Structure 1
């Protein structure tokens, strides 16, 4: 695997982590809104 492919995969993995965290945050906010 060349360096370019490695950095691209690292970027993709980081984006997946970011979107996952964002989705979890959204879910938590939605729960809060329902409770109020």
Structure 2
């Protein structure tokens, strides 16, 4: 559990980055389908 708590900030940053990339990909796909 110590390792998880120590890496928690990095895990959160990773999740946020993945979510951001997913949103960008989704938006790009939506724009491509609209165009």
TM over 0.5, shorter chain: yes
Count of matched residue positions in the alignment of Structure 1 and Structure 2 = 31
Aligned Cα root-mean-square deviation (Å) = 1.7
> TM-score, normalized by length of structure 1?
0.71
Tell me whether 1:16 sits opposite 2:7 in the alignment.
Answer: no
> TM-score, normalized by length of structure 2?
0.73
Which ranges of structure 2 fall in alignment gaps of 5 or more residues?
Answer: none
Runs of 4+ with >6 A deviation: none
